[in-house]
Structure 1
Amino acid sequence: MAETLQLPKYSIGMGDRFAHQAKAQLAACVLAEKAGVTIAPVWNKSNREHLIIGSEPSGTRSAADVAVKELGWTGPYFLDADHINLKTVDRFLAPCNFFTMDVADDIGHPAAAEDVAAFVARHPELIGNVAIPRIEKPFEIDEAFVRGVANKFLAAVQQAGAIYRSIVDKKGEGSFVPEISMDETDSPQTPVELLVILAAIADEKIPIQTIAPKFTGRFNKGVDYVGDVEQFTKEFRDDLATIAFAVERYGLPKNLKLSVHSGSDKYSIYKAIRESIKDFDAGVHVKTAGTSWLEEVIGLAESGGDGLALAKEVYAEAFGHAAELCAPYATVIDIKTERLPDPSVVNGWTSDEFVRALRHDGKHDAAFNPDLRQLLHVGFKVAAKMGDRYLKALEANEEVVARNVTTNLYERHIKPIFVG
């Protein structure tokens, strides 16, 4: 059998909505390499985003391959079939080598009673006081709890197993990185629930290399973490300890690590992530998703002239179709519509005013508008409808757009998490 494809210790997920920023994104990983930290680039784009834009996964692959060649990147790199399921996976099979199996919609669907009973019988070690190194208090677990967690999550894990085996049948075992995503759901998974979930994943023989749970607090698109940072820190550290324990107990892959979805702009928790992974000597995968699309709009606005006019047009259209654009992302945005400026106001803005309202750098600029930023984050459909007009604007302003993309990814995300 061919050698199993391994995701390195540190990796960063990068969204490239219009397949124009791969080189600028990879440049941020090159800067990290020069700073002494190797971070594997993972370009991710979901089926929903491909459908909205009218693109194909092969186009994302081509853009990544060209960037790697032009910058002389010699390390591993990945293309993520993001948030796929059995209905959507096929178009990603050939170009992708990383598959995020999204089973959030299956959480809470009761598993077959006999499957739950078999799981409980198979795992007596989960019942009682379960002591995990580096977690202060043992988990106190009774059979009813294990049964309840299995009833809530087992069907989702079985669905992940079905997706995984479908990919293996067509691509071959070890030829891709499997991730399980459970983040886009209503309730966070606690560390003790994570332990039960990992036992179920091991039973399904899914060699996952990353897992994306839903953490406490809100991870809204393109804005800072909303929640108790201290609580998140404890939960994140307990999850790291739980994963290390499960790897040894259940024979899961040694490089299994946490994946933080919607991780862009979560400045208030970056220190906790950095210090925790260093303390535990653990890896992490952080997805920055659509933040590069926002940097495209910022770059156009910063360019002035036609670029600024187009950025204003994108906002006006997004404002007019806000409900439609927001609906698919309801669990990961929180927009106060009364705080959105009217397009007539935005049309009068200077380049600097537009950029300051949209740019999020953690410096608490009073002009920054998180509601406007979230709306534009989900508003890439507007640019997609512009077609070549939008793409030509990117190409005409490539230098300033690329500078914003690289600076954002390296200075605001990679450095505070991985470099320190």
Structure 2
Amino acid sequence: MLILEKYTFGVGDRFAHQAAAQLRAFVQLADAGVDVTPVWNKSNREHTFVGSKPQSVYDAGKAAVEKLGWGKPWHVDADHIQLKTVDPFLPCSDFFTIDVADSIGKPAPADEVTAFVDRHPELVGTLKLAGLSAPLEVTRADVQKVAEQYLLAVKEAGEIYRYIAAAKGADNVAAEVSMDETDTPQTPPELLIILAALSDEEIPVQTIAPKFTGRFNKGVDYVGDLDQFKREFNDDVAVLAHAVKAYGLPETLKLSVHSGSDKFSLYPIIRECLQRTGAGLHLKTAGTTWLEEIIGLAEAGGDGLALAKEIYAYALEHVEEFCAPYASVIDIDQSKLPSAEEVNGWSGPRMASAIRHIQDNEHFNAHMRQLLHVSFKVAAKHGARYTDMLTANEEIVGNEVTKNIYDRHLRPLFIGS
């Protein structure tokens, strides 16, 4: 397998214009004494929405690496791929986020479930794993129930992994298994059972993305019980450490947090756990960079501000259409969305402050930010007009991108504010 670094951080770049600006944040972090590996990610759905191809992500990343003289590792993530969508990603990706959420809950053959339960008597009983907040109490019926729910998904993950490994060679593949896009969070006992199944399937999984309790809405902070998240995250780290020893999974196995961007209140919890345990981490930030482009264009004024306002007005007119694919990960109160007429009267800094994720700013509007977050295909409709505007305002837009990733994400997560 391709061995992943201890800390990896996924960044999205919807229009393949900000890779260098993103990479500058990692350079700043390295200069501060912490090495985190950038992973450029873009899903098939996002490519479909904006009309791009997977190769564009690799090309943009490579150009940024060469421009900045980055001599450290970097990766390209085929994000949330399935067997039917993976082929275009094979030549240009080395990190594969295998998404089997659609198979979770579909029953596996009864004989396979029984065989799994019989094969793993060690999963039954009072499990006192090092680092847990409390022992795990697991019955045979619990193991069977989890196997019934997840075994088919794990087998699908195995099929996808073997297809990728056969095409690229296993030494060129780093595998993540994603189970976060489901309705129900996985508990630490469920995660342990899933990891046992992944081991049986001989998938050298290096990151696993469970669904945590709470809301991970697009582009805004975590909504939920921070104490509960702390227990879950710490217990999941302990479960992974145990699974590595018990099931021969890769020593580089680590949690992946599909944050949906900007889960600032979770960063101190995650940082403390990483520092205390020495665990690794992969974290994805989704579409934050696209929002920083809009903020930069607004700050630029003139034609940039006019286009930013035009994009918002169009998104407002098509709010139901743009929100539908993301309904489970946004909470927008349409009564709190300013009218296009009101926004047209704003200055550039006023519009930027409504979108920029600084929660104590009196003008910050989480509802407007979420709407724009899921409306990136409006910019795609503008084609060259939008991307030419990014080029014309490269310095101011790029500064917003770098500052956002370093000041609001990398530094708080790995160093502290």
TM-score (norm 2): 0.99
Specify which of 259, 262, 270 is matched with residue 262 of structure 1. Answer: 259
2:80 corresponds in structure 1 to 83
Matches within 5 A, 1:238-253: 238-253=235-250
8 Å contact from structure 1 (residues 335, 371) kept in 2: yes
| Unmatched runs of 5 consecutive residues or more in structure 1 | none
Q: Distance in 2 between matches of 1:376 and 1:262?
A: 17
Matches within 5 A, 1:13-412: 13-362=10-359, 364-412=360-408
Q: Distance in 2 between matches of 1:32 and 1:56?
A: 30
Query: Letter of the aligned partner of 1:404 in structure 2?
Result: E
Q: Distance in 2 between matches of 1:361 and 1:345?
A: 21
8 Å contact from structure 1 (residues 184, 332) kept in 2: no
8 Å contact from structure 2 (residues 133, 231) kept in 1: no
Q: Distance in 2 between matches of 1:75 and 1:32?
A: 13
Query: Letter of the aligned partner of 2:392 in structure 1?
Result: A
Query: Letter of the aligned partner of 2:401 in structure 1?
Result: V
Q: Distance in 1 between matches of 2:325 and 2:108?
A: 27
Q: Distance in 2 between matches of 1:337 and 1:115?
A: 48
What displacement does 1:190 show? 0.6
Q: Distance in 2 between matches of 1:379 and 1:298?
A: 14
8 Å contact from structure 2 (residues 25, 403) kept in 1: yes
Q: Distance in 2 between matches of 1:320 and 1:386?
A: 16
Q: Distance in 2 between matches of 1:369 and 1:112?
A: 49
What secondary structure sits across from 1:209 in the alignment? Answer: strand
Query: Letter of the aligned partner of 1:266 in structure 2?
Result: K
8 Å contact from structure 1 (residues 295, 404) kept in 2: yes
What displacement does 1:263 show? 4.8
What displacement does 1:391 show? 0.4
8 Å contact from structure 2 (residues 2, 170) kept in 1: no
1:8 corresponds in structure 2 to 5
What secondary structure sits across from 2:29 in the alignment? Answer: helix
What displacement does 1:41 show? 0.3
Query: Letter of the aligned partner of 1:15 in structure 2?
Result: G
User: Following superposition, which runs of at least 4 residues in structure 1 exceed 6 angstroms of deviation?
Assistant: none
Q: Distance in 2 between matches of 1:333 and 1:74?
A: 38
Query: Letter of the aligned partner of 2:190 in structure 1?
Result: E
What displacement does 1:236 show? 0.3
What displacement does 1:137 show? 2.3
TM-score (norm 1): 0.98
What secondary structure sits across from 2:205 in the alignment? Answer: coil
Residue-by-residue CA offset, 1:14-54 (whole Å, 9 max, x unaligned): 00000000000000000010000000000000001111111
Query: Letter of the aligned partner of 1:105 in structure 2?
Result: D
What displacement does 1:326 show? 1.1
Whether 2:414 is the aligned partner of 1:418: answer yes
What secondary structure sits across from 2:222 in the alignment? Answer: coil
Q: Distance in 2 between matches of 1:46 and 1:193?
A: 27
Q: Distance in 1 between matches of 2:203 and 2:366?
A: 39
